[in-house]
Amino acid sequence: MVDRYGCSSLRVGEQFRVAGKSFDTDSRLDPGEYAAHGGAFPILLRGTGCIGTVAVSGLPQRDDHRLVVEALEQLLYGAAG
């Protein structure tokens, strides 16, 4: 999802929902391969682009997304964040 769209999986899903569409049918992608749910987040390097992806699954999708964001914030800014 991140490699294809260049942003978090939650954002992709939200963009489809806001447009009144269903990702599973309107994206024309195999739903067995792609899921527009929270949990996948790009690792972007300024001047380079996406160099990796962090993904987590098992919680409600917004909680998956929040967990990844908070972990990356912790890594980047430390406990004082």
Average pLDDT over residues 27-52: 93
Share of the chain above pLDDT 90, in %: 86
Close Cβ partners of 56 (under 8 Å, ≥ 6 residues apart): 39, 64, 67, 68
Is residue 15 a contact partner of residue 62, using CB atoms and an 8 Å limit?
A: no
Q: What is residue 78's predicted lDDT score, i.e. its pLDDT?
A: 85
Number of independent structural domains in the chain: 1
Domain CATH number, residue 63? 3.30.450.150
Q: What is residue 80's predicted lDDT score, i.e. its pLDDT?
A: 58
- Report pTM: 0.84
pLDDT of 27 > 80? The answer is yes
What is the residue range of 68's domain?
2-77
